[in-house]
Structure 1
Amino acid sequence: MSQNRGDAGIYADNESVAHTDIEPGLLRLFRWYIAIRLVLLVFLQLVGQDRAEGDPLFVPEPGIIILGLLIIYLLVNRLHTRLGKRYLPIAIWVAAISPIVESNITITACLAEGASANEAIADYWLLFFYLFVPLIIVAWQYRFRWVIFFSVGTLFLEAILTTPPLEEMGADLTLLGTLMVGRATLFAFVGLVITKLVKALRSQREALAQGAITRERLAMSEERRRLARELHDTLAHTLSAVAVQLEGVTSIWDDDPTAARRMVERSLESTRSGLTEARRSITALRASPLEEHGLTKALEDLCQSVTESSTVDATFTADSEGGRLTRDVEHAVYTIAREALTNIVRHAEATRTAVRLDNGARRLVLSVQDDGIGIGPNEAIGADHHGVRGMYERADLIGANLVIRSDGHSGTTVELTMEKGS
């Protein structure tokens, strides 16, 4: 998601498999899940080296190999770019196949050591937990039909791999088959609930985006009306006054040259005054700093403007190796920074503030920190507190996380974090 897009995301049409963008935070969750599973398997492999006779057998090596390759796959951003929509489904299926293969190899090894069928499948219940996170990711990212495909697909794959060695032992597969079907049914139900919740969340995000667009358009319309009034009250009045004065000059030029000269001088003064007002209005109509210079330069100019127009010394640092962002993301980040600085100037009683922009390859972080009085323990950092609601809304629109920290006596920190490609 996010273009990153960060806005409400791009939704595919009804014939499409899924969204072209990955939902915010999903890829990070997936990486953590794979990393934790990998660490757990390595730990079990080390512990298993001291396995005594009679202890349960577990074969973690295949899972370590599969998950090791998968974590590398998930950390290489170029693969995401090249594979596009295929990137996440490949990772999900590898993550789902891994525990099934581990379970099958462990069951086969236990049977080879002479264990009974019941002893061989003693840890079968762990598969539920190992497959649950991939199920959540499927339901989070895709439509319900893909939840059904995942549930049925893992059921058949598990049946194909697990049942043959147990059948050779003459084991009763009724209980195992019931567990498999029951798990697939439960997965389908849980997936249905998650997809409905995610759909509601996306609808709310779209509504927020539409509301923000409407507010922006209303603000632009009001600004145009204000500028039209200013042009009418300044430029039009000035030209009218100059026209009247010049008409007077032509009528007295021959009879009273001195008075005519004075009227010409007043006309020149009126013209200069009108020209100044016209330039001011034209400047207000020019493109925003973002469109002219980009986010980094716009934030630098914003901090310089705060320093020059207030008692707060605003400094700015940036690391922009991540390149240019989308227009919506830049606009949201700039607006949040501007609102934070406005609050500092008006309410924080600060003398210094530091603005930092880290535009990395995988993550964008904006932080605004001041040395003011902070926010008291009885003051809410949210709701309508000095425009904070609007800051949170803009963060949500780009799929970012906004955190405001203050201990009430040593300043306030506003931090905006947005994952890229996740």
Structure 2
Amino acid sequence: MKHMEPGLLQVFRLYVGTWLAVMLLALCGALSDNKEAINFLLMVIASTLLMGYLGWPLLRRKLGRYFLPIGLFWATASPILIEALTVFVRMLEGTKGDAALTEPGLTTLWLFVPMIFFSVQYGFRWTVVYVVGATFVELALYLAMAILGGPDFGIMIEQALFRLIIFIPFAYLVSKLMNGQREERRALALSNARLAHYATTLEQLSVSRERNRMARELHDTLAHTLSAVAVQLEALDVLWDADPIKARETLTLSKDLTRNGLTEARRALKALRASPLEDLGLVLAVRHLAQMNAERAGLQLSLQTPETLGELHPTIQQTIYRIAEEAMNNVVRHANATALGVMLGYDGGLLKLLVMDNGEGFDLGKASENGHYGLVGMQERAALCGGQLNVQSQPGQGTRVEFSVGVNR
């Protein structure tokens, strides 16, 4: 048995409570008419018991999936039995024939809402079984009373057919609407599951990108310094006995390399924590980066940037800043240059960054074979935002790093 439809039990309780209030008012108005008062009194009793049943949490936990069917059975059987009992009491009091009948509209109204609830929960086919079954029970009771001299059985057949004609089309419409709603809920649940999976994948990708970024940031600090210190210590081991003076010079150089490496590592870690793009914006952040690197390495700086670049996607801003940072770090550490040129601005529909130096340059082919990590990192960043990175360099002719990306202005 499937789970109860959301909100169905609350609406069921509201319906029974409303019906109970209406029957109490009807009972107060029919106190002078004993025949009608009995009918309303029985309905008040049945409604009160059903309200207590629906509002009893312990019963719901104990009965589980049978809780709602029992409530619907109660709501269906009560008006049929009350109507039959009222007619039977009137027959005992001497009322003959059709005069013993109650108002048929009251019973129809009482049965209509439970039929809707049944359609919502169990679908059209089971609702047809439910309606036809209730009709046969009602006709069986009236057939017995007709044999005992009660109301005309033909009238009861007409009433039963009238209810079937009304109830079954409504049951079909409600079932169709609920099927559509269930399909939408299933589609929504599937979409939510896919979205959750996408969010998890995106989070994992973000973590992976951040790890790569940290690796790129620290690559030319700790790795470079430790490699240089290792070489110096190996030389120191060779010179320790053979040339103490040279060994001491090597030791001093190792200390200087260690201190410089520590300074660079701290600077890289500070850059990881800092958010210059958020604090300054892209243009000012690139300017500050260029000025800081030029001052740090004693380079002559040529800097061309606009006052503003307008609104840019954060990914593009981050990519430009990190490529500029990596390119300038390479100039400072490897180029042995005397001049640094930085240009940032629009060229048609492209946003371009250019970092160039007059240093000693390098062989691009050998750099690719050796897995030059700085170039790999810049290429990765460029690809992630759909841009292009062009690196030009030859030994003795400096290096030119150009990044471009399409931007809607």
Q: State whether TM-score is above 0.5.
A: yes
Q: In the alignment, which residue of structure 1 is the partner of 2:42?
A: 62
Residues 266/155 of structure 1: CA separation in 2 closer, same or farther (3 Å cut): farther
Residues 87/222 of structure 1: CA separation in 2 closer, same or farther (3 Å cut): same
Cα offset, 1:150, TM superposition: 1.2
Of the candidates 149, 159, 173, which is equivalent to residue 169 of structure 1? 149
- Residue 72 of structure 2 aligns with an amino acid whose one-letter code is I
Of the candidates 26, 35, 40, which is equivalent to residue 8 of structure 2? 26
What is the 5 A alignment of 1:11-410?
18-19=1-2, 21-51=3-33, 58-169=38-149, 171-239=151-219, 241-253=221-233, 254=236, 255-269=249-263
Q: Which of the two has higher C-alpha Rg?
A: 2
Cα offset, 1:277, TM superposition: 9.0
Cα offset, 1:128, TM superposition: 1.3
1:234 touches 1:277 (CA, 8 Å); kept in 2?
Answer: no
CA–CA separation in structure 2 for the residues paired with 1:279 and 1:76: 58
Q: In the alignment, which residue of structure 2 is the partner of 1:313?
A: none
4+ residue segments displaced more than 4 Å:
55-58, 269-280
Cα offset, 1:58, TM superposition: 4.5
Q: CA RMSD in A?
A: 2.8
1:31 touches 1:74 (CA, 8 Å); kept in 2?
Answer: yes
Structure 2 portions without partners, runs of 5+: 237-248, 275-409
- Residue 14 of structure 2 aligns with an amino acid whose one-letter code is W
Structure 1 portions without partners, runs of 5+: 1-17, 281-422
Cα offset, 1:98, TM superposition: 1.1
Residues 128/258 of structure 1: CA separation in 2 closer, same or farther (3 Å cut): same
- Residue 31 of structure 1 aligns with an amino acid whose one-letter code is R
2:16 touches 2:51 (CA, 8 Å); kept in 1?
Answer: yes
Residues 77/240 of structure 1: CA separation in 2 closer, same or farther (3 Å cut): farther
CA–CA separation in structure 1 for the residues paired with 2:270 and 2:12: 59
Structure 1 or 2: larger helix share?
A: 2
CA–CA separation in structure 1 for the residues paired with 2:185 and 2:5: 12
SS in 2 for 1:49: coil
- Residue 113 of structure 2 aligns with an amino acid whose one-letter code is V
Paired positions, count: 260
Residues 58/163 of structure 1: CA separation in 2 closer, same or farther (3 Å cut): farther
Q: In the alignment, which residue of structure 2 is the partner of 1:392?
A: none
Cα offset, 1:170, TM superposition: 5.9
CA–CA separation in structure 1 for the residues paired with 2:96 and 2:37: 13
Q: In the alignment, which residue of structure 2 is the partner of 1:383?
A: none
Residues 144/279 of structure 1: CA separation in 2 closer, same or farther (3 Å cut): farther
- Residue 78 of structure 1 aligns with an amino acid whose one-letter code is L
Residues 142/236 of structure 1: CA separation in 2 closer, same or farther (3 Å cut): same
Give deviations 1:257-300, integer Å, cap 9, x for gaps.
Answer: 333223223434555677789999xxxxxxxxxxxxxxxxxxxx
Give deviations 1:95-118, integer Å, cap 9, x for gaps.
Answer: 111111221122223333443433
SS in 1 for 2:104: coil
The alignment's TM-score, normalised by the length of structure 1, stands at 0.56
Cα offset, 1:235, TM superposition: 3.0
The percentage of aligned residue pairs carrying the same residue is 26
- Residue 257 of structure 2 aligns with an amino acid whose one-letter code is M
Cα offset, 1:234, TM superposition: 1.0
Residues 269/81 of structure 1: CA separation in 2 closer, same or farther (3 Å cut): farther
1:38 touches 1:67 (CA, 8 Å); kept in 2?
Answer: yes
CA–CA separation in structure 1 for the residues paired with 2:231 and 2:7: 77
CA–CA separation in structure 1 for the residues paired with 2:68 and 2:60: 8
Cα offset, 1:232, TM superposition: 0.6
